[in-house]
Structure 1
């Protein structure tokens, strides 16, 4: 009978390889037939074997490197034995040392030492210390390359010890250093790898420490390399290179130095500087010796090169070479008469542009020297030039090799490389996307600043970040995020109140938040590409979604929600799935209901599971969180930024900060109860002792505030003392971070001072702006009459420190997060708290996934073990129109419009097998006439609308649940006004009048809302900002008794719903131009018209729409063809 481990690994034969803490069996993955190594941890279920198992999988999951053995899977078999599944490798270094393949130091370094050291460098960079490097733990693959393996006793430097069991004393003979446990990290590995390198080069094995000295004296290596190896195996840990990176860098430097010393004199490239090149390097007038010296300095480091491109044909021009130095880019033209190149141009691009060019070039080996002097040996110079061209030829051949000739891994690399190039392009766009805005007036209310602009802006700037700058002086006053926008006004929400703003200045784009978001996306994409995420096979699933495993058949006996059959089937797929699942949910089909039921069922099935819910919009996150709480889900945390206003009031108590504060307050209450007992024993007023505790906290905060303020002043003034004060503020933050810290500490000081004054109740008065010394003086004064109380001061100081930590330290949020079942936030925003970055999730559900860019969706997915994406391909996709219009950026990053526009949701809808996706087809939001219109015009008629109960009386007032109010009777007045943004005052007037009619109808009980409903919610929607502003201006003075209207743009309304919706078409002209409402923008029409539950009103010029093409024409034709449910009504000009 075949032994199967996990779900997919069949063990082969009975043989095994055994080590100190494990035994290894060969197996086969039944999904692709590949050979695997199944490593069983010896010791069964005891805590030591658990520790070894946990360490190895955490280390391997965090490491993905060509020279580290590849992790495939891990688990526990039916007997309770832990196992790890790795790639199968037949040989180890112990086998190779019987007949070493290298003949000299150079061959050995290239084939073995360098790859092994890059693996060690990578591990140390990721804070993983191997601690057991020896020949048996270095595998040799089929190509002869070393693979670092067996991380069972590894130490993850990011983690604190949490077990009384330890593996630190497991040792492997002479490969372990003499000391039991060095205080310095990583030097144990440096010793071990030093011994391994010596053994590889020595003719005799190394069995004890005395053999190490003999090997050092006999190995055939250059003197400087011998000296470095000697430092590696020093008995004094402080004399060794501090980590694998330092060792790799130093050894590489020595090798390159040797190569350069022997090769550069034979490979001198002659560069003839033109007058223009000299002037660029040293200015005018040109000076050849100075220019040559400047060029030599620039070309002394790492160099990159590639062939030039013919500007007319776009083909490679091999007569031109682009050489990239440390600062400059050189254009070299082949000299047809002499054995060299003419430097026809020099440029000094921005650092980012130079780095982008380097990424597309060849890193030149250090075998060339560069000189402007006439070569003595012309033939040698010609050979050097030929060698350079030959290297670039080979580089271009490798780059142009068809993907079919590469491996599947290379194809996946190209996919991820393309996604990374899209991020690079977005970063370049963000850097220069928005032009500065001049404002003429500002009004500051707390943290909100409203700026009146000198020019109107149609571009949607909500969510972008801007900085207030006085251009003449260069002074910066602060920055914030745009939370509201009118045609000529912007409202910024800042992290602190901005005072003394100039009445007129400039708003400049502030790209730090954008950079943070892009970096999170880049890190997520790299984690998935490198396999350092919880599920390494996610990379393969995204590259080839067709390989997604079908969900297991699951039958649920007990349901929490009343669901239709399709939603029940979707939940059962969610519970039975192990990989990806896509749920398409058109408007009103109950996506949130599906998410709630799925989470409840998952937690019933796995009570200890942790679920991440992410979305592109705060509204969607809040809907899910509110529903989960109402359904009885506990241990629920909502994540958001500093601005709590983006979160709906009903769920703000679930914010991480709010829950942390509540927890801290409970701790403080217990501390004060203890203080009260101590005060009673000593005859002290309990309030006074509580005041002393608060004053101790106050003294700590004030002292830190004073130190940071001093440091910031020195830093801005360029004072050298600033570095000496660094210890007072932990690290030298940028000025803006320090200012934010000052603001936080100032608020905390004021809060504590108020509390202390309350506790003192007039017995002692303290200043509102109190210093640390004044707080200490107040403590001394309070305790001066109580000798016994002085003994408490030390304890009170410690208690104050603890209370301040639990109030202020973000890291303590990790304690709360560790016990949560559900964490919810936006796709990139949920990582704002660094404690979240340490969590892994069993399930990730992304709502509104169709609105996320591909890499935005990867951010939450890279944290989880399985994934459900919920969205609608017929609603608004991510807005990347600005990037798509920048053909220069697309060309620079080798992209096209499809590369930029691709979303992960659409990719999965197109490529996932049918068994892994499902579309919800019953919608309950819209009454049937509205639902049928949406179904026929946008979903091919597949949506069903069981809801037939409308709003009593609405048809008597509107005429039908769906009405098109035609403005044709207004003649020329019905037309739009404006050039870039458009306004239609006739439509605005009609909409306001219609709202007044509805309000009066409810007052007269012609329309009868359900009693619990209260005021009816109304969405007034327009496609242009100027029209949104016009509608808001007209509605501002109105007071409605029974309606609650909100005016929003089409882009802002997705994810919202209301009882009634009124849509202003806005466009009407003699040119037939629809702009944002044209055929390519049909999704905008779908979003705008699918918000209403009971009544939908479209206001616009029907005659104009009949003469156009697009979704609005289809909607108008549907309304005209369904008179029972819909009506076209001509509005008379009054």
Structure 2
């Protein structure tokens, strides 16, 4: 802004109408004042008499967001003044800065004493969480630093589809990658060249760098290293601090989680979902819409958790609530996002490299560009029409200028008409002066004669009515004689009055004829007068000019209305006088000014839309019905900073640690946790023991126990058994697994409560039942025995391979892989997965093999037509390692849609030293023998080799 006087005038006008908003920012000692199009930063002078203008910027979405939170309204009728130098400010002036600061403090600072003290056991709980988070952070960062570098022998650029301006390159490794998708890495000795692993295929790892990276900067041969990060732990600690300072959106969150005290409520029994839900899903849906604080939904495999979550999210959004859909994994978040109805406004926040292709369409960056183009296209027509009100193409301005000129002509002509009319009256009076006395006398006589006729006419009408009445009554009846006499008498009176009236009328006619004769002689004299003729001609000319000007004014008004009508409301009608024309002109000028303002605002807005990317990002998220992000992602993106949610829907809550869960929960007024604590927990038991020993080595045993419990069990697992039925729901009908398998899962893990609705499928060519097992205990111990692998996983655990099981699995898939639409091999150990992957590539080729073989952890939440699970362990001592975590087996065997094939040594499995695992295997074998198909491995080898 080059001319501050424009801003000053605008501030004065708004202040006089009590419409000037402002904000005080004491941390920077400035007053921010917001006009209609500009925001100005004003700094109080040292003497407190004025403000120095520090910065002026166009009004932005961010400014409007700040004003929605809090604002002062400045008012005053004395106006604002601008001076070039502080020394020019008049003495005894005041900026009223202290007054504004006090008013702002009263507005923005909460009153002391509102926050009650936190119970001691809540403080202890938060202290424990803080200790666990800090210790696990230190352990994890140390582990990441110990990860060996990944040497690469070749570098290549990619044609990867990009959603942001960052470099994407492929590195060909010398050995198999030990990092996962999404890991942060950097080029050795160049820590600024860092990025995120986008994809791993065989020994090729694709990295998307944080910034645009010149290909020449990256060495053609070198190594990649894992970048230690405490981002997750910072988010967790921030969530704990939010609770400690009692700043959470839900003030009673700790009471809910620690004390299990929840508010009473009544579910909305009339709420209807968009899609058909079974009774348990419908109950969860209706309960989730109305629960005031916390609801837990237990969703065993295949019971439609994602469908239920989608309906809950859509139902809450339909009620005007802002919904956060979150989970520990990106896949779970994307599953919900992709199933939302199209009329629900949803955005996906997070790292694009970890999203599915469909979920990327919901990214803020993607939607903003589409929104920007949509806005520009939608407003293009209006902008084109409004453009006619600005610049050289201001058609309305031209027509209104023409109207103003014609009205000025009409006003001049009207004044001329009035002047000529007065002048003509004087000229006529002079011209008829010789006949003035005679004309006045004749006029007087005519007027007197007319006046004499009036009473006579009235008397005549009166007597005529009386005579008529008498004649009517004389027609019949006893007094008819009297009325005949009366009628004759009244007829005589009427005749006398009629004679008088006729004489008066004759006299009036003669008087008028005399006046007309005198008037005619006077008019002839006036008509012959040259001066009168000249004045009359001038008056008639002015009248014609007046009519012509108003005719042109009417044409200009219609043209201006035609131009203005598409943009603003225009006044109608045609005025009767010049005062009306003046009002119409002023109304049209106001309409044109409004149209120009709209044109300017729209042009500015379109220009801002084209460049205000960050503002649009923020507004898109703010006005979204559903925001989807991982638990940690809700706290690590600036787009969600300070954003609160009406409800947080957390998927996979059974495997989310309490510190991770708190990150989204502190941002929501209520929460719906959906999960299954009968599947993998946040950390597995063997991991917990190792971590707990490190964390609690110098602490009392009870602290170590608490630490282990926080690590081992999710908040979902601890809460579900303790909550009343009003705050927990179990989904009971599974539609994924065949009934033979589902029956065992239900009895073993879900107390027999799981029901099945599954159509079955075509028979397998090898096995007679959907639940089958290849039992390797018939093989010699030397052939079926496991072998330790020299490599270890990320926690330092040894790996195992079992070549017999690997070859059986490869043989089975070599025959069946093309029969099933999709399949997967699940094994406990990474080393065994790598062995099977190598063998399958020789058998089936490279296509998709690596994506179909993995450990239990990588398949939680997925499903396939065929699942082959290999136990791997086979030894004479019943040593099964971390297979003792029974929930691993639950995850593995609940993935198939058509066929499950188990491969293992039942002798070792039955002899397991862990009683729980041994009992489960015994139950599984009994179930297999009853409804499944357990076959010796030699027999299967013969079938597969045939």
TM bucket by the smaller chain?
A: 0.5 to 0.7
The reply to whether residue 960 of structure 1 matches residue 794 of structure 2 is no
Deviation at residue 909 of structure 1 after TM alignment: 1.7
| 3-state SS of paired residue (1:654) | coil
Deviation at residue 488 of structure 1 after TM alignment: 8.4
CA contact (8 A) 2:862 2:895 kept: yes
Q: 1:664 to 1:831 in 2, by over 3 A?
A: farther
Q: 1:983 to 1:462 in 2, by over 3 A?
A: farther
CA distance in 1 between counterparts of 2:191 and 2:232 reads: 23
CA contact (8 A) 1:429 1:883 kept: no
The correspondence of residues 1006-1021 of structure 1 with structure 2, limited to 5 A, is: 1016-1021=821-826
Deviation at residue 1114 of structure 1 after TM alignment: 2.1
Q: Which residue of 2 aligns with 1:511?
A: 228
CA contact (8 A) 2:683 2:711 kept: no
| 3-state SS of paired residue (2:874) | coil
Q: 1:903 to 1:1117 in 2, by over 3 A?
A: closer
> What are the Cα deviations for residues 229-284 of structure 1, in whole angstroms up to 9, with x where unaligned?
xxxxxxxxxxxxxx99xxxxxxxxxxxxxxxxxxxxxxxxxxxxxxxxxxxxxxxx
Q: Which residue of 2 aligns with 1:1012?
A: none
The reply to whether residue 1098 of structure 1 matches residue 813 of structure 2 is no
Query: Highest Rg: 1 or 2?
Result: 2
Deviation at residue 672 of structure 1 after TM alignment: 8.4
- 2:829 aligned residue (996, 1020, 1024): 1024
The correspondence of residues 571-650 of structure 1 with structure 2, limited to 5 A, is: 571-604=285-318, 606=319, 608-629=320-341, 632-643=342-353, 646-650=354-358
Deviation at residue 128 of structure 1 after TM alignment: 14
Deviation at residue 670 of structure 1 after TM alignment: 6.8
Q: 1:1047 to 1:891 in 2, by over 3 A?
A: same
Q: Which residue of 2 aligns with 1:566?
A: 280
| 3-state SS of paired residue (1:1123) | helix
Deviation at residue 493 of structure 1 after TM alignment: 4.6
| 3-state SS of paired residue (2:139) | helix
The reply to whether residue 974 of structure 1 matches residue 784 of structure 2 is yes
Deviation at residue 976 of structure 1 after TM alignment: 2.5
Q: Which residue of 2 aligns with 1:420?
A: 130
- 1:1052 aligned residue (840, 850, 858): 858
The correspondence of residues 51-90 of structure 1 with structure 2, limited to 5 A, is: none
| 3-state SS of paired residue (2:641) | helix
Deviation at residue 1091 of structure 1 after TM alignment: 0.4
CA contact (8 A) 1:1105 1:1113 kept: no
Q: 1:524 to 1:442 in 2, by over 3 A?
A: farther
- 1:876 aligned residue (680, 699, 702): 680
The correspondence of residues 818-967 of structure 1 with structure 2, limited to 5 A, is: 818-879=622-683, 884-886=689-691, 887-891=693-697, 896-947=707-758, 949-954=759-764, 956-967=765-776
Deviation at residue 640 of structure 1 after TM alignment: 2.4
Deviation at residue 614 of structure 1 after TM alignment: 0.6
| 3-state SS of paired residue (2:619) | helix
Deviation at residue 844 of structure 1 after TM alignment: 0.9
CA distance in 2 between counterparts of 1:613 and 1:927 reads: 30
CA distance in 2 between counterparts of 1:443 and 1:1119 reads: 50
- 1:521 aligned residue (224, 233, 236): 236
CA distance in 1 between counterparts of 2:805 and 2:901 reads: 12
Q: 1:558 to 1:897 in 2, by over 3 A?
A: closer
- 2:368 aligned residue (660, 669, 673): 660
- 2:148 aligned residue (437, 440, 444): 437
Q: 1:797 to 1:573 in 2, by over 3 A?
A: closer
Q: 1:997 to 1:425 in 2, by over 3 A?
A: same
The reply to whether residue 554 of structure 1 matches residue 246 of structure 2 is no
Aligned length: 631
CA contact (8 A) 2:297 2:730 kept: yes
| More displaced 10-residue stretch of structure 1: 839-848 or 810-819 | 810-819
| 3-state SS of paired residue (2:119) | helix
> What are the Cα deviations for residues 638-663 of structure 1, in whole angstroms up to 9, with x where unaligned?
222141xx322233312222111211
Q: 1:503 to 1:1106 in 2, by over 3 A?
A: farther
Deviation at residue 856 of structure 1 after TM alignment: 1.0
Q: 1:568 to 1:642 in 2, by over 3 A?
A: closer
> What are the Cα deviations for residues 616-647 of structure 1, in whole angstroms up to 9, with x where unaligned?
12221122122223xx542122222141xx32
CA distance in 1 between counterparts of 2:880 and 2:69 reads: 68
CA distance in 1 between counterparts of 2:937 and 2:149 reads: 42
Q: Which residue of 1 aligns with 2:933?
A: 1127
Q: 1:439 to 1:820 in 2, by over 3 A?
A: closer
| More displaced 10-residue stretch of structure 1: 1066-1075 or 662-671 | 662-671
CA contact (8 A) 2:878 2:908 kept: yes
Q: Which residue of 1 aligns with 2:67?
A: 161
| 3-state SS of paired residue (1:581) | strand
Q: 1:167 to 1:543 in 2, by over 3 A?
A: farther
CA contact (8 A) 1:1018 1:1043 kept: no
CA contact (8 A) 2:376 2:606 kept: no
CA distance in 2 between counterparts of 1:1052 and 1:1023 reads: 11
| 3-state SS of paired residue (2:674) | strand
Unaligned runs of 5+ in 2: 1-17, 33-61, 77-91, 110-115, 159-167, 390-599, 791-797
Q: 1:673 to 1:559 in 2, by over 3 A?
A: closer
Q: 1:671 to 1:1089 in 2, by over 3 A?
A: same
CA contact (8 A) 1:964 1:1116 kept: no
Q: Which residue of 1 aligns with 2:184?
A: 465
CA contact (8 A) 1:610 1:843 kept: yes
| 3-state SS of paired residue (1:958) | coil
Q: 1:679 to 1:909 in 2, by over 3 A?
A: closer
Q: 1:943 to 1:587 in 2, by over 3 A?
A: same
| 3-state SS of paired residue (2:745) | helix
CA distance in 2 between counterparts of 1:486 and 1:1027 reads: 18
- 2:251 aligned residue (536, 548, 554): 536
| More displaced 10-residue stretch of structure 1: 896-905 or 409-418 | 896-905
| 3-state SS of paired residue (1:870) | strand
Q: 1:917 to 1:1047 in 2, by over 3 A?
A: same
The reply to whether residue 1067 of structure 1 matches residue 777 of structure 2 is no
CA distance in 2 between counterparts of 1:1042 and 1:1087 reads: 26
CA distance in 2 between counterparts of 1:678 and 1:468 reads: 55
Q: 1:407 to 1:1076 in 2, by over 3 A?
A: same
CA distance in 2 between counterparts of 1:854 and 1:1128 reads: 41
| 3-state SS of paired residue (2:308) | helix
What is the TM-score of this pair, normalised by structure 1?
Answer: 0.50
Q: 1:1124 to 1:482 in 2, by over 3 A?
A: same
CA distance in 1 between counterparts of 2:202 and 2:620 reads: 44
- 1:1036 aligned residue (833, 841, 847): 841
Deviation at residue 585 of structure 1 after TM alignment: 1.1
From the two aligned structures, give the one with the greater helix fraction.
2
The correspondence of residues 238-249 of structure 1 with structure 2, limited to 5 A, is: none
Deviation at residue 180 of structure 1 after TM alignment: 5.2
Unaligned runs of 5+ in 1: 1-47, 60-120, 130-155, 171-176, 194-242, 245-405, 682-793, 1003-1014
Q: Which residue of 1 aligns with 2:882?
A: 1076
CA contact (8 A) 2:609 2:616 kept: no
CA distance in 2 between counterparts of 1:407 and 1:803 reads: 47
| More displaced 10-residue stretch of structure 1: 913-922 or 670-679 | 670-679
Deviation at residue 586 of structure 1 after TM alignment: 1.1
CA distance in 1 between counterparts of 2:223 and 2:314 reads: 51
Which structure's relative contact order is higher, taking Cα pairs within 8 Å and 6+ residues apart?
A: 2
> What are the Cα deviations for residues 179-212 of structure 1, in whole angstroms up to 9, with x where unaligned?
555499968779x99xxxxxxxxxxxxxxxxxxx
CA contact (8 A) 1:984 1:1027 kept: yes
